Amino acid sequence: MTSDEELRTAIAEARDALLSAVDQLNRIGSAERVTADDWQDVSASVGLDMALHREHLARVGVLLGLGGAQKRLLRYLLRHVGQVVSGPELSGIAGISEWPRRIRELRVEHGWPIESGVQRPELRSDQYVLIRAERDEALAKKWRLASDIRKSGGTVRDRVLAYLKEVSPDAADREDLDYVAKTGMWKSSIDDLRAKGWTIYSADDDPSLASNSYRLAP
């Protein structure tokens, strides 16, 4: 099979998986009576079809030489520098359900200045903007710092404080603190630090901060 034939086949398979989902919805939509069990069965089947659809979308990307999910996402963002792009768009580009992790890898490990509602309060959590078409070494350095603190041991509170100190006067966002703390249950550590006299600002104190971002006062 030639590459052109492979490409056409992959596109057809992506189309067929999508049409299968549409067909099932059309059938249940025209049924005289729909039960909760009927709807769950159709929902499950549609979910399988959509997973297959994403798989074939990813296959088309590979055949076109776009590389893996991370490379496809970066290419799309570079084509839309400064523009807000949505999570559903990026999900389609990536072709995998774990695409938010690939976005985070691009931002924190490779230094691409990608921001979302996690970093900017005016954006929704499922909106993203590539600020510039160049890597930001400061972002990559910040990730290396977070990685070192994550490995340093101590309590969650110790690691959270160490990170807040290192990035001050900049803020630490939810993703940073999740990573450093090794758990999403770090907010009680913020409360403990405040109780011990540390001045830590949040969006409640400073509207310029995104939700779940915190800044240690200099």
Residue 20's pLDDT is 97
Residues 183 and 141 both lie in one domain: yes
Residue 120's pLDDT is 84
Write b or e for each residue in 188-218: b if 16 or more Cβ atoms lie within 10 A of its Cβ, otherwise e.
ebbeebeeeeeebebeeeeeebbebbbbbee
Residues 100 and 157 both lie in one domain: no
Residues 93 and 59 both lie in one domain: no
Residues 126 and 143 both lie in one domain: no
Residues 111 and 80 both lie in one domain: yes
Are residues 213 and 172 in contact, defined by beta-carbon separation less than 8 angstroms? yes
Look at residues 63, 78, 104 and tell me which one is the last residue of a structural domain: 63
Residues 167 and 202 both lie in one domain: yes
Residues 159 and 206 both lie in one domain: yes
Residues 120 and 97 both lie in one domain: yes
Expressed as residue numbers, the domain containing 166 is 137-216
Residue 46's pLDDT is 96
Residue 40's pLDDT is 96
Number of domains in the chain: 3
Look at residues 97, 130, 163 and tell me which one is the last residue of a structural domain: 130
Residue 2's pLDDT is 53
Are residues 9 and 40 in contact, defined by beta-carbon separation less than 8 angstroms? no
d(CA 210, CA 218): 19
Are residues 73 and 90 in contact, defined by beta-carbon separation less than 8 angstroms? yes
Residues 188 and 171 both lie in one domain: yes
Instruction: pLDDT tens for the chain, 218 residues: list them.
Output: 458 899 999 999 999 999 999 999 999 999 999 999 999 999 999 999 999 999 999 999 999 999 999 999 999 999 999 999 999 999 999 988 899 999 989 988 899 999 998 888 888 889 999 999 999 888 888 888 999 999 998 899 999 999 999 999 989 988 889 989 988 889 999 999 999 999 999 988 888 888 888 999 98
Look at residues 105, 130, 155 and tell me which one is the last residue of a structural domain: 130
Residues 148 and 210 both lie in one domain: yes
Largest CA distance in the chain: 69
